[in-house]
Amino acid sequence: MAALAFAAAGLFAFNAVRVGSVKGTVNPADAAVRAWALSSTDTLKAEINKGTFEITDAKPGTYRIIIEAKPPYKNAAKDGVTVADGQATDIGEIKLEQ
């Protein structure tokens, strides 16, 4: 019985890290290929489909978001994007320049 109580207490002692996501849009919609999220511990990516993207499985923290553009457009970046525990972060629209 004591072993069961000890095991149950151990299960509740740890908080599971809930991952979040980063989503947004790209303008023009057909000018980008993929979105990247970079942090000190993670590199994540997602395809851009019809100008929208969602990077999933992001651990809580601060990220740099990079939009990989198709020529003649230039890549774009947004720094300081914060992902909270279990939350979706919407960074809005990113406009690409030629």
- What is the domain count for the chain? 1
Is residue 5 in some structural domain?
A: no
Is residue 8 in some structural domain?
A: no
The CATH number of residue 34's host domain is 2.60.40
- What string of pLDDT tens digits covers the 98 residues of the chain? 555 444 444 545 455 668 999 999 999 999 999 999 999 999 999 999 999 999 999 999 999 999 999 999 999 999 999 999 999 999 999 999 99
CB 27 within 8 A of CB 95: yes
Q: Which residue has the tokens 């942090």?
A: 39
What's the pTM value of the predicted model, to 2 decimals?
A: 0.82
H helices of 1-98, in order, are: 2-13
Is residue 11 in some structural domain?
A: no
Domain of residue 60: give its range: 20-86
Is residue 38 in some structural domain?
A: yes
Distance CA 80, CA 15 (A): 26
Is residue 92 in some structural domain?
A: no
Is residue 37 in some structural domain?
A: yes
